[in-house]
Chains A and B, each alone.
Chain A
């Protein structure tokens, strides 16, 4: 089992550029999540999904879009990157409650 994988590991964007981060899990989890981690702020939930074809907003959704076309994949898109989106992005997945979340290794994104 690879668990939760994220692509790419690192990326540098210029302001206004777009990109998509890919998350894949091979544990047949129903739920998937996207977080951002910033120094001194812990992890904040961007968007989440409770199943294939569903998405919902988390705590900090502005500037991001997501899609879950297949159960095992959860994509995070930035349509027009801003320096404030410089962060480390983590994907996670879980079974339904009361199971814990499993995290991917993260993507470090820098927007200049």
Chain B
């Protein structure tokens, strides 16, 4: 069975500092991993995905994520945080046993960027 874990419910970072939001995964077979962001009272927005290839994936709004197979991690990173990055972030893994592009989501990490 597939699953993802986001070990931190809340991450606080000062504006201008680098940020990291952690995600670990458990899959049987190749991992297909995603990051989404949710702003207040909005739907989820896609940030980036890892399917295959380079371990460092670049996405929207200056975010990137590093796929680490040995540590089964897919941490989201940004070199310099903005106040506008404050939101709820979800890591997800594709359900290889289900149909379509079904995803299993983590429980989310609330990021607060402090001015």
Which residues from chain A sit less than 8 Å from chain B, CB to CB? 4, 31, 33, 40-45, 48-50, 56, 58-59, 90, 92, 94, 96-106
Is the Cβ of A100 less than 8 Å from the Cβ of B49? Answer: yes
B107: chain A residues within 8 A (beta carbon):
40-42
Is the Cβ of A48 less than 8 Å from the Cβ of B102? Answer: yes
Give Cα distance in the complex from A22 to B7, angstroms.
Answer: 34
B101: chain A residues within 8 A (beta carbon):
31, 94, 96-101
Of A44, A48, A104, A106, the contact of B99 (CB 8 Å cutoff): A48
B108: Cβ under 8 A from any A Cβ: yes
A99: chain B residues within 8 A (beta carbon):
101
Is the Cβ of B43 less than 8 Å from the Cβ of A50? Answer: no
**Within the complex, what minimum Cβ distance (angstroms) separates A108 from chain B?**
9
Is the Cβ of B100 less than 8 Å from the Cβ of A33? Answer: yes
Chain B interface, >50% SS class: loop
A50: chain B residues within 8 A (beta carbon):
99-100
B74: Cβ under 8 A from any A Cβ: no
Among A31, A102, A103, max chain B CB count under 10 A is at A103
A101: chain B residues within 8 A (beta carbon):
44, 46, 101, 103
Give Cα distance in the complex from A102 to B42, angstroms.
Answer: 12
Proximity bits, B87-105, A CB within 8 Å = 1, else 0: 0001000100011111111
Known A-B contacts A33-B102, A40-B107, A43-B90; A98 and B43 likewise in contact (beta carbons under 8 Å): no
**Within the complex, what minimum Cβ distance (angstroms) separates B65 from chain A?**
13
For the complex of A and B, 5 pairs with smallest distance between CB atoms: A103-B43, A42-B105, A31-B100, A100-B46, A43-B105
- Give the contacts of B40-74 with A (CB-CB under 8 A): 41-46, 49, 51
Is the Cβ of A100 less than 8 Å from the Cβ of B34? Answer: yes
Give Cα distance in the complex from A92 to B103, angstroms.
Answer: 11
Is the Cβ of A48 less than 8 Å from the Cβ of B100? Answer: yes
Give me 8 other A-B pairs in contact (C-beta within 8 A), A50-B99, A90-B43, A103-B36 excluded. A41-B107, A42-B106, A42-B107, A42-B108, A43-B103, A45-B103, A94-B101, A105-B42
Taking CB as reference atom, which chain A residue is nearest B35? A100
- Give the contacts of B6-52 with A (CB-CB under 8 A): 9, 32, 34, 36, 41-46, 49, 51
